[in-house]
Structure 1
């Protein structure tokens, strides 16, 4: 599960969240059966997943920090446990959804890895958009 602790190193990026625009690399799809081309494409997808994981972590930490502040101000202790539970369930959903897509493409491990990584990218993007919504 994603670390929900407020490390100091992420406080700076939170200040610029309104203009937050992560940039994903353009990954050239595989056009041949070349292992080198497949390896390059999969590495490109991995880079995009890492970018999205960082962006997602920033937004999650922002929400948790905002809710901790709200909890201190209002005494409402119900929000954080629900938020943490929803994040845990979202992580499980993403992993399981992408895993069955991976297994569906087996025994071709290259196609399976690509299906898994493209699924993660798509679901991370959707989750980031959800996290950006005003509350």
Structure 2
């Protein structure tokens, strides 16, 4: 059994494009965090990270809405709402998980609360970025 180069070529090309896109997205997000951390004083860093978090949360919310709409449509068509209920429950769990996962990083930096806040916010950014990637993936599965 042989595979022709023409059959493999689009797949390799697709993976290369995906890699370049994901690499540039990760790099752009890291560049924003790095730019925030170069500011002085630390309160400016915290404000900059807050703005970045707010921007990411808006993106996250739009993907959560996309997933919810898709699950609601499936629930209407199939008459089963259990997946939608689980997704809503998972959102509550996610919010708690972020607070717990990032909270211990804050506590580790005490008594310096400002450095603790930096650690918390950097952790929150990473978790939001991961959540957005997961929401995109699952939303696209529903299409």
TM-score normalised by L of structure 1: 0.75
1-structure distance, mates of 2:104, 2:36: 24
Aligned-partner SS, 1:76: coil
2:98 to 94, 99, 104: 94
Q: Give structure 1 stretches of 5+ with no counterpart.
A: 1-20
**1:42 and 2:46 aligned:** yes
Report 1:99-110 matches (<5 A).
Answer: 99-110=103-114
Q: Aligned partners of 1:82, 1:118: CA distance in 2, in Å?
A: 28
Contact 2:36 2:49 in 1 (8 A): no
Give 5+ residue unaligned stretches, structure 2: 1-24
Structure 1 residue aligned with 2:60, among 48, 56, 67? 56
Distance in 1, matches of 2:81 and 2:106, equals 39
Deviation at 1:29, TM superposition (A): 2.4
The count of corresponding residues between Structure 1 and Structure 2 is 110
What's the RMSD between the two structures over aligned residues? 1.8
CA contact (8 A) 2:102 2:120 kept: yes
Partner secondary structure for residue 46 of structure 2: helix
Q: 2:37 aligns with which of 29, 40, 54?
A: 29
Alpha-carbon spacing, 1:28–1:64, altered in 2? closer, same or farther (3 Å): closer
Distance apart, 1:65 and its partner CA: 0.8
Q: Radius of gyration: which is bigger?
A: 2
Decide which structure has greater helix share: 2
CA contact (8 A) 1:38 1:110 kept: yes
Structure 1 pair 86/28, CA: closer, same or farther in 2 (3 Å)?
Answer: closer
Q: TM-score, normalised by structure 2?
A: 0.71
